[in-house]
Chain A
């Protein structure tokens, strides 16, 4: 049996709750957008927000904040089929919390790896996101990260742009982080118009490119190393490339 949830975090947690109420485990747990085989039997799991938050609280209270973060970070690793592992990981924890400390356990190890992937991407996006200044002074960045890291990027930028307005727009997932000098909010963007850039925006992009090109030491050119640090998929949104 294949279980399918609506690709929200609450939806995923609802599926975990379902595994307890039904006393059964799916062969496979997956998101809506994943293609199914023709003859697969599919059960759609309805999202129950109240149940989801109850479970999340239980995770926090019984397994600790660290594990709660691990669960959320793994969930954001949305380029991977993490669902089966994460479902079994949570159940393993409720059975015996001490097992989650054992990193040589295959489930524990694989969740650790998902989390690492996500956090590495957060680090990369904090570094590689490029803002442009809009007419009225707002800083605006378009991104399309390989994993859903936007929810984890707010704190970093809020700290440095405390007194600026900024928007980070994930074009791939149609979401945006909006900061208005006071609060930080995550929005879904249904459609949008390309905003007008400030007059000096092009000048500074040009100057940055100048700097970028001339700071390299020609006798030490190493495009392979450069590529391992900045993989091509990040470059589309970086004006210097």
Chain B
């Protein structure tokens, strides 16, 4: 098979992985070779689905000994198979990097022969890149659950980020659809990499995972509770959500014609942002009474509608945490307000002059004691008012992960 054909096949197989972040590397700067990583990532292109292309995202191989129902590369699927050599991937990475196509490499793989053999091939690729080509750009590599601890640690020492995908939000679903995997097995390599770094006083490595949404019956509440514990207990940097795209006919999975639940995925990302940057607790956003996110409103607005007693909030006096809870205000607006009100008492026209959108916020604030819009204190009245607002199409694609500017939606 030519490089051209391998690249086509192994890009096709890798594209369902959501992560393409190249930001937040804490590896020490090193100018002896080619490349650098920045605190904020760079999206070098956007594919036809509107997703950011930051890294050369490919599989080492799509051969796989596992038979996970949801996966296009499961062993029982009859499809063309290929494998790169470590040097082929290293050469592609270097040549793409020099042309400013990418920030680095995102290397994942099916399991070829066995776990150790596969992990060894990925490690070899990283060794060529880092040691021989002195490549200093970004590398995200999948840790192979079940591989030996030495290989896991050696690999993670050369990477900017490592990940291992849980794929399904509960042990029960894993057992049903991916009998070769368990939650413990998936997270073990991440824990090994983390513990090694802690014990040896090394930089903590960035870790992430991914969950498929909509293939199995877990509620948003269960999903977000898992994310919350992954952030707080397992110290993961990112949890990605991937709307399930049916690729296999399987009695345990949605039919092939089911469209991917993009809006649900979008709302989960918004809820995830509330956890990480807006100081919300999971139970405030979702709970037994409300196990699913409201698809009509973003989760902050939905929370506000359930907690009208909290409002209106005085923009001139409220502290940062409180301002961040106002629906329609993002991190950037709050920053502007905090900065501007040091100079003078703000009025509604000041907010407008600073191009702060009041479309949603006006129902929830007072500015210098005055309300831009009479507060409608009942849920029903507000709900119908808000539903009547013209809606921009939700941008269902997360981009520029981790970067502060992306919190506010700016480049």
Contact = CB atoms under 8 A, between A and B. Distances in A.
Contacts of A204: 95-96, 99
Contacts of A102: 340, 343-344
Contacts of A159: 31, 36
A226 B95 contact: no
Interface stretch (B9-17, B232-240, B283-291, B296-304): B9-17
Given A139-B98, A215-B11, A219-B260, A104 B48 contact: no
Contacts of A161: 34, 98
Contact of B45 (A128, A133, A214, A218): A128
Q: Which among A123, A126, A208, A211 has the greatest number of chain B C-beta atoms within 10 A? A: A211
Contact of B34 (A160, A207, A214, A226): A160
Contacts of A130: 99-101
A88 B45 CA distance: 39
Interface stretch (B75-83, B163-171, B312-320, B346-354): B346-354
A101 B43 contact: no
Contacts of B11: 210-211, 214-215
B224 interface: no
A217 B96 contact: no
A161 B100 CA distance: 10
Contact of B96 (A124, A208, A216, A219): A208
Interface in B1-58: 3-4, 7-8, 11-12, 14-16, 31, 33-36, 42-53, 56-58
Nearest to A113: B355
A132 interface: yes
B42 A214 contact: no
A135 to B, nearest CB: 15
Given A206-B4, A217-B16, A109 B353 contact: yes
A227 B52 CA distance: 12
A175 interface: no
A229 B397 CA distance: 11
Given A102-B340, A103-B340, A130-B101, A207 B7 contact: yes
Contact of B35 (A160, A212, A213, A217): A160
Interface in B306-355: 336, 339-340, 342-344, 346, 350, 353-355
Interface of B: 3-4, 7-8, 11-12, 14-16, 31, 33-36, 42-53, 56-58, 92, 95-96, 98-101, 137, 245, 259-260, 262, 336, 339-340, 342-344, 346, 350, 353-355, 393, 395-397, 399, 410-411
Of all A-B residue pairs in the complex, the 8 with the closest CB atoms, nearest first, are A225-B50, A216-B47, A222-B50, A216-B48, A220-B49, A229-B46, A104-B350, A214-B11
12 contacts: A102-B344, A127-B42, A127-B43, A131-B98, A159-B36, A162-B34, A164-B98, A211-B56, A215-B47, A216-B51, A219-B245, A230-B46
